[in-house]
Homo-oligomer: A and B are copies of this chain.
């Protein structure tokens, strides 16, 4: 297995000490006795964006690219590489988009799915069962667990408990690593490169975990320039700014979306989340209308550049933008399928 791992350096200690480290040896110890050790050792778990270094990202993106070919093939030519494997989607809060994307990924590779759409309300959790006990039961019924949870850190706890791979499909205000991966993959697919990218992050930068993870991951590449464009009440927080500076990433704040758009390769728009404003509906309304991606933005946006959005979108991108070839957000959603296909393949059978 050493040779296989040599070509698949997916697990390196995280750069910051408070993050979990992924040692093949500790994984090996945890999984002793499992009949399926060999396969599941190869990648381990997907818990947070920080666990991937640049080589790991390259590898995942290469497999995702192969998955595009698999998925676009005729139905008869489709891969059965995960035939006989069973994925449990254990969702403690609903997220139809993410769940369907994972389940489609599994099925496009010939695998099967067990679904719980609303585990928080329906399952033994309502009777007081711990997440750990639920995981110990569900791992007996499946080969891989995709966990969505409302508590930060839940995915890490699940991975510590399970003897089968765990993928974090979002744990509260914490991590959503597959979203971060599909965002970076989309930039690479749309622009053709990651080094040298100029990226405008727009909207709610304080609360959106997607923009925070994206800023974190893109910092692994060279010559990155990031523009933050947001209402004052939802500005990017200092921890990310300091991290970017420490990694040699140039960044600046701007209140002029048109000027930023004219200089960027990627405009990443996000939704202002009403629920973050509590009773201050006036602040929400002001923030919400401030930076809209519309035809005027398209007029100044370079021809090769793209508009991205993690979806769902309200009116922060006007509908008339959709027909422009630079509107990449539905292609971005589709890339989530390829990234998840790639991760499932890597976790269950290796490259």
Contact = CB atoms under 8 A, between A and B. Distances in A.
Contact of A312 (B127, B141, B271): B127
A209 interface: no
A271 B129 CA distance: 11
A137 B331 CA distance: 9
Contacts of A96: 116, 119, 122-124
A141 B101 contact: yes
Interface stretch (A20-28, A84-92, A216-224, A257-265): A84-92
Contacts of A314: 127-129
Nearest to A111: B75
Interface residues of A, number: 55
A119 B141 CA distance: 23
Interface stretch (A47-55, A102-110, A171-179, A183-191): A102-110
Nearest to A271: B127
A38 B59 CA distance: 34
Interface string A7-42: 000000000000000000000000000011000000
Given A128-B312, A129-B312, A140-B333, 17 more contacts: A35-B72, A35-B73, A75-B82, A86-B104, A96-B116, A96-B124, A97-B137, A100-B141, A104-B114, A107-B114, A124-B312, A127-B314, A129-B311, A129-B314, A134-B312, A136-B333, A141-B334
Q: Which of A75, A85, A97, A117 has the most CB of B within 10 A?
A: A75
Contact of A103 (B84, B94, B107, B114): B114
A103 B114 CA distance: 7
B115 A107 contact: no
A294 interface: no
Contacts of A141: 100-101, 104, 334, 337
Nearest to A80: B84
A204 interface: no
A77 to B, nearest CB: 8
Q: Which 3 A-B pairs have the closest CB atoms?
A: A75-B84, A129-B312, A124-B312
Contacts of A85: 75
A127 to B, nearest CB: 5
Contacts of A6: none
28 contacts: A35-B73, A75-B82, A75-B83, A76-B84, A86-B107, A86-B108, A88-B100, A94-B122, A96-B116, A96-B119, A96-B123, A97-B137, A100-B138, A104-B141, A104-B142, A115-B115, A116-B117, A127-B271, A128-B314, A129-B312, A129-B313, A129-B314, A133-B311, A133-B313, A136-B330, A137-B330, A141-B334, A141-B337
